[in-house]
Structure 1
């Protein structure tokens, strides 16, 4: 099949389009049938860059960064130290004092290393020592939740849904059936195909099955031939995108699922239709696939025959129920309201209070905190940073362990034994838990040395 752009039909100067912008995911997916300039590069300036910039704090929290850059995206924060505000642009939590000069918002105070501060002040009497390990520190970040209801977001979501659906159906070239969504993506005009799911139970169902911070895409065909794609963006909000009212005859795969996790892993399902996959799944439960194992206390015991297992079988019942809801639901929101705002704030709280205990996040933390020449770590009992606390405790557990070399299996073993609730590699830390973990570490007079030992093991962990 000749390759042609799915937006305009051109058969030359095609490129590899990141279906989800590279800066918003660690698990990249591509569509190769997009022309390089008009319908790939220019989308970044049209709407993607606005969304990426607004979500910088979220991607930092989830340890997501573009493969094209060395640093995580920067975000604006107000740091309050000893009652004084400092406006900073950060690439992560650990840049506040890291070999930099920071000025207060009113330009009356400055914090730096003692030697540098004396040099700047030109008078040692004007410089006052400050122990960063004991001061009270508060970080405030403004989340631009308006971006989740902005036309730029809706155009990006439409692009994701359209390019993903086309890629799973090997679509090459432009089809008139996609006219409406293509017009909205390329010009921002016409009917907006995006709406917002506002049923909290749906969020709970997906949260129970999907790793926090993941992207989820689910496509299905309605009875009237309409193709909808459901997109859960980081788990913060769930959107419905109408890709087409009438699918082209060439689109044969209309039950699709992709889950893109922050650790770069993924799960995918591809089937022709909901009816087909339901029939296939429930056929497994048919009596013909079971044999008698005898009678116990008058009860006939049946066990399944040795049949080929279905990958990701646990997903199917959940997806069947979700699609049943999505087909019948007619109460999607078209913009922000009290219900949607409450869902967003609840989901945001879960993400900002959670630490994904995986290799990527722990290695990033160690490299930023335990850099060459750093001072020995002394924890501050007065400050609160839940993500940092759980990561410090993870490094502490690694330092205490007798394991010399780390791998993923050993890491999870150490964490599951040391953290009562870390069985799912996600750990919600409330105020009580944060204080408990701090107290455990600080009650060990050698905790600073244990942290150094743990950090060294992480640094020696081969990629």
Structure 2
């Protein structure tokens, strides 16, 4: 069947639309039935770019980068150095000095290399040398809470829900069943199909079941409506009414997708909740069992991860169907949920190959000076990553692979779930102390960085 745009029905100049903007995910999903200019490229200027820019700190934190660019998105931060504030634009782990000239917010201080400052001031007496490794440095990143409740976010979430549902059902061309959501996405007018789940227990349940920073999408039929619930990074759950009546041409109305930050994904699709439950029941029946003392025990030599995933999805969708108190605008309850979910992402660090290799590439650049850790730094994530490099350098490992790396982390960091670690002041103080107690730590860091750079090279 010929391809046609799902927004307008055009058959010419179609493109592959990133259902979730490429800059917001490492696990791309596409809809091939979107016209290139009007209903793909223009959406970026209309609403997507505003959301992408506002969430740049989150994507940096989760090691998410657009496949179309070389650098991670820049985010704004306020750095306090020796009592003076500096407003900077940062790209992840790069050294905040990095050869640049820092100007304090009140315009009274400048900070850079001694040679550069002498050249700028033209008077060496006005330049005072300082050792940045003994300055107390604090970094603060402002979070734009308003973006989560903005028209741009609602339009982007609607676009994700609509294009994903259509892609899962192989929808081709324009259909009037989607009139309202199409109008809202393309013009911002009409009835807003988006509301926000505000049951805090559901957020706690979701956080325990999916990977840190994942996007999760659920589609289901509720009172003849087709609903899609989207959890963006695990921060807020948005419910989208894709259609107020069940489209007769869409057979798959029980859908689940998890898109993880490591590019992996999980996908489940069925016609309905009833067929999904029947499939799950059949899975259970296929598990070998033995009888002992009249008690039957289920055993399985190769556990199927979907045995745990299906009950979770069933629970979530049944809760979504029963909830009647969605919010359309921010309130104290939603703000509390958002703050707690943000705190979980900020304080929890997922250690994997991509994050550690990115850190080493940013910090251990060619020709760099020996690393001297600042004993006053409060950058918990950087301390953790330096400690991982230190562990690699101080081990007997000469070559890394995924298995060796994960065993090293489990041995020294006591990681249990998906290599996630809650980064607290107490634990990072211990890591920093262990590194600084070794007078030879700069050489050990260099050795660790070299091994990590060669990982799979």
TM-score normalized by structure 1?
A: 0.95
1:271-305 Cα shifts (integer Å, max 9, x gaps): 1111001112123445x865554x44xx3445569
Question: Structure 2: any 5+ residue segments left out of the alignment?
Answer: none
1:107-128 Cα shifts (integer Å, max 9, x gaps): 2221111211121122222221
Partner of 1:261: 260
The alignment partner of 1:392 has SS state of: helix
Q: For the residues of structure 2 that align with 1:412 and 1:177, how far apart are their CA atoms?
A: 49
Report how many residues are paired: 457
Find out whether 1:74 has 2:74 as its counterpart. yes
The alignment partner of 1:16 has SS state of: strand
Q: For the residues of structure 2 that align with 1:132 and 1:70, how far apart are their CA atoms?
A: 29
Q: For the residues of structure 1 that align with 2:96 and 2:305, how far apart are their CA atoms?
A: 46
Find out whether 1:406 has 2:400 as its counterpart. yes
1:84-128 Cα shifts (integer Å, max 9, x gaps): 111111122424111111111122221111211121122222221
Q: For the residues of structure 2 that align with 1:333 and 1:245, how far apart are their CA atoms?
A: 19
Partner of 2:281: 282
The alignment partner of 1:133 has SS state of: helix
Q: For the residues of structure 2 that align with 1:448 and 1:290, how far apart are their CA atoms?
A: 55
Please point out which of 377, 382, 388 is paired with 2:382: 388
Bigger drift between 348-357 and 185-194 goes to 348-357
Query: Is the 2:229–2:239 contact (alpha carbons within 8 Å) kept by the matching residues of 1?
Result: yes
The alignment partner of 1:88 has SS state of: strand
Q: For the residues of structure 2 that align with 1:331 and 1:129, how far apart are their CA atoms?
A: 60
Q: For the residues of structure 2 that align with 1:95 and 1:380, how far apart are their CA atoms?
A: 12
Q: For the residues of structure 1 that align with 2:287 and 2:71, how far apart are their CA atoms?
A: 54
The alignment partner of 1:216 has SS state of: strand
Report deviation, 1:157.
0.1
Partner of 1:228: 227
Q: For the residues of structure 1 that align with 2:252 and 2:143, how far apart are their CA atoms?
A: 38
1:225-270 Cα shifts (integer Å, max 9, x gaps): 2111111111111111111111211111111111111111111111
Report deviation, 1:309.
7.1
Query: Is the 2:93–2:363 contact (alpha carbons within 8 Å) kept by the matching residues of 1?
Result: no
Q: How does 1:125-140 map to 2 (within 5 A)?
A: 125-140=125-140
Q: For the residues of structure 2 that align with 1:452 and 1:200, how far apart are their CA atoms?
A: 45
Q: How does 1:23-102 map to 2 (within 5 A)?
A: 23-102=23-102
The alignment partner of 2:224 has SS state of: coil
Q: For the residues of structure 2 that align with 1:385 and 1:309, how far apart are their CA atoms?
A: 40
Partner of 1:436: 430
Q: For the residues of structure 2 that align with 1:320 and 1:34, how far apart are their CA atoms?
A: 32
Query: Is the 2:351–2:420 contact (alpha carbons within 8 Å) kept by the matching residues of 1?
Result: yes
Query: Is the 2:14–2:35 contact (alpha carbons within 8 Å) kept by the matching residues of 1?
Result: yes
Report deviation, 1:439.
1.3
Q: For the residues of structure 2 that align with 1:10 and 1:27, how far apart are their CA atoms?
A: 28
CA, structure 1 residues 390+109, in 2 after alignment: closer, same or farther (shift >3 Å)? Answer: same
Q: For the residues of structure 2 that align with 1:117 and 1:16, how far apart are their CA atoms?
A: 50
Q: How does 1:343-382 map to 2 (within 5 A)?
A: 343-382=337-376
Query: Is the 2:71–2:91 contact (alpha carbons within 8 Å) kept by the matching residues of 1?
Result: yes
Bigger drift between 119-128 and 366-375 goes to 119-128
Q: For the residues of structure 1 that align with 2:208 and 2:295, how far apart are their CA atoms?
A: 35
CA RMSD of aligned residues (A): 1.7
Q: How does 1:415-430 map to 2 (within 5 A)?
A: 415-421=409-415, 423-430=417-424
Question: Structure 1: any 5+ residue segments left out of the alignment?
Answer: none
Bigger drift between 149-158 and 383-392 goes to 383-392
Q: For the residues of structure 2 that align with 1:219 and 1:237, how far apart are their CA atoms?
A: 16
Report deviation, 1:30.
0.3
Report deviation, 1:407.
1.7
CA, structure 1 residues 140+301, in 2 after alignment: closer, same or farther (shift >3 Å)? Answer: closer
Q: How does 1:180-195 map to 2 (within 5 A)?
A: 180-195=180-195
